[in-house]
Amino acid sequence: MSSLLNTRIGFFMAVRQIKRSSKWTTGLIIAVMILTSLNLIVVSGILVGLIQGAIDAVRTHYTSDVIISTLKNKSYIENSPEVMSVIDKIPEIEGVTARYLKGGTLEANYKTRVKETDKPNTAAGTIVGIDPTAEDKITDLSKFVVEGSYLDANDYDQVLIGSFLVKKYLPIESPGFSALDNIEPGTKIRINIGDIQREVTVKGIVKSKVDEISLRVFMVDSQFRSIIGRNDYNVSEIAAKLKPGTNPEVVRDALKRNGVDTVAKVQTYTDAQPKFIKDLVATFALLGNMISSIGLVVASITIFIVIFINAITRRKFIGILKGIGINGKAIEISYVFQSIFYALIGSVIGIVIVYALLQPFIAAHPINFPFSDGILVAPVSGTLARIALLIFTTIVAGYIPARMIVRKNTLDSILGRK
């Protein structure tokens, strides 16, 4: 008997068995396969998406696609105006925001301090001078204002303060960490940058899951330059947003070719990721795979049981088929086809649910994790690989019980003898 003939007969029997089996049973098996395929795709997708959400947020709201920052041991990018003119000549760059950065301390409640010896209410943070319009265009900073309002280009002595510097948003009693108490829009605070002290008004509080935003104090760049005496327009950070579809590496390399890397560190958003983030992605992917593997084993056992019960209750008919001369291989193949059918239908429905429903929904309504807005990461290649694995496992899980029953003595099967 040719294997092609056995396959044809196996298919013939499988189609009819599926078509004429109980709709409820078929529905239940398919439901299990849908859940299994979702488990395979979604669990690891959410775990990776949890970190990916953080990475995307850093990219969208802090580094943008390419970030140019100071070299080690430098507090600003030398010849920043020349760097800006190089940037202007690169057509793939849609826009930039330049930032002036200085470490400093903030002090609140100084007016209500009773004695000079009382411990002042201070917090350490990075003071950032920005062009509010350019910054908002590139990083949507205004979106994160949770109290008060966003900066205006003409604001003077006004700041946006990061929520990690405000005690009511970060109620941590740690001896090594201090935040400002009683802060709200309109509150006066002091900013100390080196020897310079300035009293400013809190115009708004910004709260983001990107730590770099929540730990900073923002003010209008023109005033910040005058405070720190930076008249050369040398900035500390330039975040460049690229035109859609542009590979950030291409722009990074173009900037390097133009000598920008001699005065600044030029990185894509990926380059700028700390190693622990990359490790986290790998760890979560591994975790996801481990959990998915359990799902795969459960699915295999489910299919094994389903096919085993199906085959054992049909043992008499399997015996009759063999008795009238139907090749055992054809009978086994019919069960393999049934397994493939269940796995395929379950997977296809699972894929439709993931790509047509879950992924767009979660993208529009990210999962609110404490440190990121989690998305569902489900690359098509990875999904197809998982589905292929599921189908393969299902085939094996369907074949083994079918073979066990088919191998039994023909007459014993027909007569129902043990």
Partner 1 sequence: MIETKKLRKSFHNGNVETEILKGIDFHVGRGEFVAIMGRSGAGKSTLMYQMSLLDEPTSGEVIINGGHNAAKMSNDEKTLFRLTRLGYVFQDYALIPELNALENVALPLLMQDIPWKKAYTQAEEALKRVGLETHMGQLPSQLSGGEQQRVSISRAIAHKPDILFADEPTANLDNESSRIILEIFQELHKAGQTIIMVTHEPEYGKMAQKIVHLDDGMITGVTRN
Return residues touching partner 1 (CB under 8 A): 1-2, 5, 8-9, 12-13, 16-17, 19-21, 317, 320-328, 330, 410-411, 414
Least separation in angstroms between residue 309's CB and partner 1 is: 16
Least separation in angstroms between residue 304's CB and partner 1 is: 21
Q: Which is nearer to partner 1, 120 or 323 (CB)?
A: 323
Which residues make Cβ contacts (< 8 Å) with residue 286, sequence separation at least 6?
A: none
Tokens describing residue 155:
């604001």
Count of CB atoms within 10 A of residue 338's CB? Answer: 27
Q: Which is nearer to partner 1, 17 or 133 (CB)?
A: 17
Q: Which is nearer to partner 1, 137 or 329 (CB)?
A: 329
Least separation in angstroms between residue 404's CB and partner 1 is: 16
| Dihedral (CA of 260, 245, 241, 359) sign | negative
Rounded to whole angstroms, the Cα distance separating 219 from 133 reads 12
Tokens describing residue 391:
């189908």
Least separation in angstroms between residue 47's CB and partner 1 is: 43
Contact 32, 110 (CB under 8 A): no
Q: Which is nearer to partner 1, 278 or 316 (CB)?
A: 316
Least separation in angstroms between residue 284's CB and partner 1 is: 46
132 phi, psi to nearest 5 deg: -55, -40
Q: Which is nearer to partner 1, 255 or 306 (CB)?
A: 306
Q: Give the single-character DSSP code of 11.
A: H
State the SS3 of 159-217.
Answer: EEEEHHHECCCCCCCECCECCECCCCCCCEEEEEECCEEEEEEEEEEECCCCHHHHCEE
Least separation in angstroms between residue 411's CB and partner 1 is: 5
Q: Which is nearer to partner 1, 12 or 110 (CB)?
A: 12
Least separation in angstroms between residue 397's CB and partner 1 is: 22
Contact 343, 392 (CB under 8 A): no
Residue with tokens 């013939």: 12
Rounded to whole angstroms, the Cα distance separating 280 from 304 reads 35
- The DSSP-derived string for 283-325 is HHHHHHHHHHHHHHHHHHHHHHHHHHHHHHHTHHHHHHHHHTT
Q: Which is nearer to partner 1, 122 or 327 (CB)?
A: 327
Closest listed residue to residue 221, CA positions, set 313, 281, 151, 300: 151
Least separation in angstroms between residue 307's CB and partner 1 is: 15
Least separation in angstroms between residue 325's CB and partner 1 is: 2
Angle between helices 315-323 and 275-313 (to 10 degrees): 70
Q: Which is nearer to partner 1, 89 or 418 (CB)?
A: 418
Residue with tokens 């292929």: 388
Q: Which is nearer to partner 1, 286 or 312 (CB)?
A: 312
